[in-house]
Copies of this chain bind each other. A is one copy, B any other.
Amino acid sequence: MPGLLIIAHAPLATALRDCASHVYAGCPQKLLAFDVAPDAPVDDAATAALALLRDAASDGSALLLVDVFGATPSNIAQRLAERASDLKLKIVAGVNLPMLLRAVCYQNESLDALAARATAGAIQGVMQVAINPPQQQTLRGPSHAAALNSGQQ
């Protein structure tokens, strides 16, 4: 099973892992996080993250989830992949909670499939959310408002 390693500006990586732990009531298997301190040199951070990557990729593969393409965490992920060329790795950028939850759900799939699931999950999770106009609720009366409230909790 591919491992999952989140690499992001501090403290985003840990925060995302914590959120996955909330949703799944306990930390999912092989989900690790590496927070990148502001102005951390890429090579030093890659050295520090290498043991974590090898832990995540104990089965030989891992998906690296980074926050922004081109920023230091993304560069660290690329440096890690160069150094750990014996592992099968993929990197996806733009991690959000929908991406992470999708990746955890499909972690038993192949690395290629998992990377595709993660990117699709992230994009599908981005949307504008409708706001119910208050006058509409008033017009429909209290029974509708009660149903709406119970459905939203």
Contact of A129 among B16, B22, B69, B96 (CB under 8 A): B69
Bound Cα distance A125, B92 (Å): 10
Chain A 2-24 near chain B by CB (<8 Å), digits 1 or 0? 00000011111011101100110
Contact of A18 among B10, B81, B122 (CB under 8 A): B10
Q: How many monomers of this protein are in the complex?
A: 2
B19 contacts A97, C-beta separation under 8 Å? no
Number of interface residues of A (CB under 8 A): 58
Q: Does A66 contact B (CB under 8 A)?
A: yes
Q: Does A137 contact B (CB under 8 A)?
A: yes
Contact of A125 among B22, B89, B93, B128 (CB under 8 A): B93
Contact of A92 among B89, B93, B126 (CB under 8 A): B126
Q: Taking A10-B18, A78-B131, A93-B127 as given, write out 15 further A-B residue pairs in contact, using a Cβ cutoff of 8 Å, ordered by the A residue number.
A: A9-B19, A12-B16, A12-B18, A12-B19, A12-B97, A41-B153, A68-B101, A77-B129, A78-B132, A92-B127, A93-B128, A93-B129, A96-B96, A96-B126, A119-B127
User: Which residues of chain A have a CB within 8 Å of any CB of chain B?
Assistant: 8-12, 14-16, 18-19, 22-23, 38, 41-42, 66-69, 71-72, 74-75, 77-79, 81-82, 85, 89-99, 101, 115, 119, 122-123, 125-134, 137, 152-153
